[in-house]
Structure 1
Amino acid sequence: MRMNAGHPTRIGFLSFGHWHPSGPHTRSAADALIQSIELAVAAEELGIDGAYFRVHHFERQLAAPYPLLAAIGARTSRIEIGTGVIDMRYENPLYAAEEAGAADLIAGGRLQLGISRGTPSPALNGYEAFGYVPAEGTTDADLARQHTAVFRAAIAGAGVAHSDPRTTGRSDAVVGLQPLSPGLGDRIWWGSGTRSSAVWAAQQGMNLMSSTLLTEDTGVPFDQAQAEQIAQFRAAWAEAGWDREPRVSVSRSVIPLVTDEDRMYFGDRDGAEGDQVGYVDAQTLARFGPSFTGEPDVIAAQLANDAAVQAADTLLLTVPNQLGVDYNTRMLSTIAEHVAPAIGWHPATVAAG
């Protein structure tokens, strides 16, 4: 099996979907949703490969992914549509399987679903408010993996309930969910913040969505630690003997400074911001990845030397969604024209019409 030899062949944007009543352009949930659709349409026209969205609960951010994914699928024809990530602790896995199948069919098989345990939330054990409590002796991470197993089995067509003899005439059969979308099972990604969870994802046959932070600090720069994680994932994938090539994505904040407006918003951050090390909660020390702000050619050279960017096949660019569709479209256009080709990427063919 051929493994990715280096540099991204796909580039997408990743939106956190923030809104705030005092924000410059995105002041409501409706703004965040409609602008997300419009940005995906614009990105497809630019030849960008993917439109990805964060999923957060109990915050002024995008939360319910499937209506948004389906709406984008109905408005576009080529671009991949994904999440980064759906917190499986909160999900009814069977209902999620139905929603995912329907959204993927509307999109013509373009969903790329990033799922995982998720990140800390403003709500204490918020998944319990959704009705999901880890079984005694297990953790919330166990809960996420249990939900994931049920979800993946369901989208693959596994039987999930016994047939009712009153309607089927038999009691010895099991029935599965509908609708099923062929190939969706190969387009599930696990959001991983550690080397061990990346190995686990490979063993399960899921693609790898390497997190914007690593919840382990080995003392080496973020990109090198992330590249090590990717290498261990690919080695575990090969050892497992899966018959397809896996996908691997990394995310970076990339802000080219081209106009006076760019410099007004981001000029005080000119230059690469190095790794940051801090606690995401009381016990978890994490290393956060760098961000890149400056002239396009300088950013291109920095990304070309980023070990994890070169190891991945997909680069997700976080966008300042609250600055609106026009600003982010222009920013993505600048990256596509002046930054991304230097790291080996070329725009997708834009469909006529």
Structure 2
Amino acid sequence: MKRIGFLSFGHWGPVQGSHTRTARDALLQGIDLAVAAEELGLDGAFFRVHHFARQQASPFPLLAAIAARTSRIEVGTAVVDMRYENPLYMAEEAAATDLISGGRLQLGISRGSPEPARNGAAAFGYVPHEGETDADMARRHAADFRRAVAGAGVVEADPRYAGGATGLLPIQPRSDGLGERIWWGAGTRKTAVWAAELGMNLMSSTLLTEDTGVPFDELQAEQIAMFREAWAAAGHGREPRVSVSRSVLPLADEEDRRYFGLSALREGRDQVGALDGVLSRFGKSYVGEPDAIAADLAADAAVQSADTLLVTVPNQLGVAYNAKMLETIATHVAPALGWQPKGSAART
């Protein structure tokens, strides 16, 4: 059964037409939109993490607040830039959030993406070891984080204050099962294989930092197939999760056409360009009449290969508009992909 959630980049700023003029607006509206999405029967509320920008930067307070206001919907990140993270502190924060949610946290992590800061992680106190790249450091942080989440001892006990205990102490609290709900945001086929070998779920967005000349959805479907093959070869004892992201903007009324009608002309095809000096392929946006979008997404090879579809939302247009857009997707687009509403929405 296909899962469908929304992905918010959490933009905010005092610009014309914005309903999220402050960081507080963006945070509180993120909570309200997650509540609305659960009422619509959707499966997930995910947030991008981006430092030194007017976007969401510290996900765990937001996700914990959403978890306290909801009962069923998954809450997650797409993705946390591991260059910036203290692995042990993040393990405590993630475990606490997962306990509040009752085991609904889906934590996307990665090496991160281009950002406005030069050497931003260094400002947080993290620099690569000698011979390491930024990507190496992110993977090292990710490995330390995953070990801590799994309950590995990380610091020697002091018997004077640990009730006589000796050996290595794990972080506290812990949340059983969280380790199986960690996803790696992979930008290439090679990193997808690496994530599979380590037992992380796969999170793939609307960008791949490689290009073979085939359409984006076919390249991404190949990435997913290689991930699944590597997962099977590694012999993990569970089925992996795979998510893809898409920009989906149905034009159901005049308000939609006023906002996004021109986008249907500009963004209906893949784009290829250089990103940080690497030839990359960007997936197209799905803009148009809901029935046409449903047919196009049903023919998208990667959407069909994934178990979870995350649709990006224009969060600065406010909760009411985005809830209306998600309702249109839930009603007129998602059923064509094999999705059914969950919770109380399934009975209405």
Query: Does the pair score TM above 0.5?
Result: yes
Query: C-alpha distance in 2, partners of 1:278/1:57?
Result: 24
Query: C-alpha distance in 2, partners of 1:53/1:159?
Result: 30
Query: C-alpha distance in 2, partners of 1:18/1:201?
Result: 29
For residues 129-151 of structure 1, what are the alpha-carbon distances to aligned partners after superposition, in whole Å with 9 as ceiling and x for unaligned?
A: 00000001110100001000110
What displacement does 1:168 show?
3.0
Contact preservation (8 Å) 1:162, 1:171: no
Query: C-alpha distance in 1, partners of 2:205/2:254?
Result: 32
Residue of structure 1 in register with 2:306 after alignment: 312
Residue of structure 2 in register with 1:280 after alignment: 275
For residues 204-225 of structure 1, what are the alpha-carbon distances to aligned partners after superposition, in whole Å with 9 as ceiling and x for unaligned?
A: 0000001220000111110000
Residue of structure 2 in register with 1:209 after alignment: 203
SS in 2 for 1:105: helix
What displacement does 1:269 show?
1.9
SS in 1 for 2:79: strand
Query: C-alpha distance in 2, partners of 1:91/1:212?
Result: 24
Residue of structure 1 in register with 2:49 after alignment: 55
Residue of structure 2 in register with 1:19 after alignment: 12
For residues 257-298 of structure 1, what are the alpha-carbon distances to aligned partners after superposition, in whole Å with 9 as ceiling and x for unaligned?
A: 0111101101112266111111222x1221111111110010
Size of the alignment, in residue pairs? 344
Residue of structure 2 in register with 1:158 after alignment: 152
Q: 1:98 aligns with which of 92, 99, 102?
A: 92
5 Å-filtered alignment, 1:96-135, equals 96-135=90-129
Confirm whether residue 249 of structure 1 aligns to residue 243 of structure 2. Answer: yes
SS in 2 for 1:100: helix
Q: 1:327 aligns with which of 321, 324, 348?
A: 321
Q: Which one-letter code corresponds to 1:248 in the other structure?
A: V
Q: Percentage identity across aligned positions?
A: 70
Query: C-alpha distance in 2, partners of 1:165/1:343?
Result: 57
Query: C-alpha distance in 2, partners of 1:171/1:345?
Result: 51
Query: C-alpha distance in 2, partners of 1:70/1:169?
Result: 32
Contact preservation (8 Å) 2:67, 2:75: yes
Residue of structure 2 in register with 1:167 after alignment: 161
SS in 1 for 2:302: helix
Query: C-alpha distance in 2, partners of 1:88/1:154?
Result: 14
Query: C-alpha distance in 1, partners of 2:165/2:334?
Result: 58
Residue of structure 2 in register with 1:3 after alignment: none
Runs of 4 or more off by more than 6 Å in structure 1? none
Residue of structure 2 in register with 1:5 after alignment: none
Contact preservation (8 Å) 2:49, 2:59: yes
Residue of structure 2 in register with 1:10 after alignment: 3
Residue of structure 1 in register with 2:295 after alignment: 301
Contact preservation (8 Å) 1:304, 1:342: yes
What displacement does 1:166 show?
2.1
What displacement does 1:170 show?
5.0
Query: C-alpha distance in 2, partners of 1:27/1:180?
Result: 36
Contact preservation (8 Å) 1:23, 1:322: no
Unaligned runs of 5+ in 1: 1-7
Contact preservation (8 Å) 1:252, 1:291: yes
Query: C-alpha distance in 2, partners of 1:130/1:329?
Result: 36
SS in 2 for 1:39: helix
Contact preservation (8 Å) 1:274, 1:290: yes
Unaligned runs of 5+ in 2: none
Residue of structure 2 in register with 1:69 after alignment: 63
Q: Higher mean Cα deviation, 118-127 or 225-234?
A: 118-127
Query: C-alpha distance in 2, partners of 1:274/1:168?
Result: 60
Residue of structure 2 in register with 1:81 after alignment: 75
Query: C-alpha distance in 1, partners of 2:187/2:162?
Result: 46
Query: C-alpha distance in 2, partners of 1:224/1:169?
Result: 58
Q: 1:347 aligns with which of 323, 336, 341?
A: 341
Q: Which one-letter code corresponds to 1:67 in the other structure?
A: P
Query: C-alpha distance in 1, partners of 2:16/2:333?
Result: 28
What displacement does 1:171 show?
7.4
Q: 2:189 aligns with which of 175, 185, 195?
A: 195
Q: Which one-letter code corresponds to 1:290 in the other structure?
A: K
Name the Cα RMSD after superposition: 1.3
For residues 186-211 of structure 1, what are the alpha-carbon distances to aligned partners after superposition, in whole Å with 9 as ceiling and x for unaligned?
A: 00000000000000000000000012
What displacement does 1:350 show?
2.3
Query: C-alpha distance in 1, partners of 2:300/2:163?
Result: 61
SS in 2 for 1:167: coil
Query: C-alpha distance in 1, partners of 2:123/2:264?
Result: 42
Q: Which one-letter code corresponds to 1:279 in the other structure?
A: A
